[in-house]
Structure 1
Amino acid sequence: MKLVVMLSGMFRTGFTALAVASVLGACATPQQMIQAREDRLAAAGFEVHPADNMHRKAMLRSLPPHRFVVRDVHGSYVYLYSDPLVCGCLYVGTQKAYNTYRQEMFQQNLADEQQMTAQMYDNPAWSFGGWGGPWGPGFGPGFGGPGF
């Protein structure tokens, strides 16, 4: 059996996730953020297996915490997500559960990005007037130099 550690984020959603995490990080503890992720895992179809004996605890410690790991079992991928800190458990999911989870995360990131974009433009009284030019210095030919 081959063990492959998956990257925890995709490049196209990495920036959005980072921005959202920094905004949410101000109002949520790391444990709350992990718990929210685990709630999404369970909703996507991942099964929760507590590390309730010494063998399971040792196996849980051997996995990278709060990261996806893929295991090839008889030609099918099984996705593992280890949480030794919050619940002391292992989440186990199929390809379908993982795809459902990723789709939910994509939709959540898109909704968060749209909300952030809407919040950026919600003050109609603000103008570029004091910044010079229609968009301010640094955005035109020569980056705000002569002729702008």
Structure 2
Amino acid sequence: MDTQRIFNPRIFSGVLAFAMLGGLCSSCATMEADRARDTEQLLAAAGFKVKPADTPEKLAHVKSLTQHKLVPHEKDGTVYYVYADATTCRCVYWGPEEAYQRYQRLATQQRIAEDQRMAAEMNEDAAMNWELWGPGYWWAY
């Protein structure tokens, strides 16, 4: 039997590249879904109302809106902020200016808390006394 027919390096490298690309794409999709979920939790905490796209017509309308961004829309002289998500929750969040201001404050507080957490981790890493553990990487395994 011909070993070239069993294992073709070109085909193998192509399949491997395709698999790696698929893994990267699914990783990006997961990160986007996590980000959407975090945003939607902040919107709910800020007082935004959620309306599910529970019919095909509503889902089609949600898909036609700007996705994963707060967009101002005017209705009867009042500005409402709308956040459409056709993929994660299949819904629309909407709220008035007051809810938008609360959302902005909560998002800022969350960013500050995350920055503080990262700074604390960096300080903890900087405080590590590597010389105490001797040379080499043997202790890390």
Structures share a fold, TM > 0.5? yes
1:57-68 map, 5 Å: 57-68=59-70
Residue 127 of structure 2 corresponds to residue 124 of structure 1: yes
1:69-108 map, 5 Å: 69-108=71-110
Distance in 2 (alpha carbons) for counterparts of 1:90 and 1:125: 47
TM-score under structure 2 normalisation?
Answer: 0.64
In terms of Rg, which structure is larger? 2
Unaligned runs of 5+ in 2: 1-26, 130-141
CA shift in 2, pair 1:125/1:61, >3 Å: closer
Deviations 1:96-128 (A, max 9, x none): 1111111000001011112212222223356xx
- What SS class does the counterpart of residue 52 from structure 1 fall into? coil
Identity of aligned residues (%): 34
1:1-148 map, 5 Å: 29-122=31-124, 123-125=126-128
- What SS class does the counterpart of residue 121 from structure 1 fall into? helix
Runs of 4+ more than 4 Å apart:
none
Which one has more relative contact order, counting CA pairs under 8 Å at least 6 apart?
1
- What SS class does the counterpart of residue 85 from structure 1 fall into? coil
TM-score under structure 1 normalisation?
Answer: 0.61
User: Aligned residue pairs: how many?
Assistant: 102
Backbone CA RMSD of aligned residues:
2.3
- The alpha carbon displacement at 1:37 in A equals 1.5
Distance in 2 (alpha carbons) for counterparts of 1:82 and 1:104: 19
- The alpha carbon displacement at 1:53 in A equals 1.9
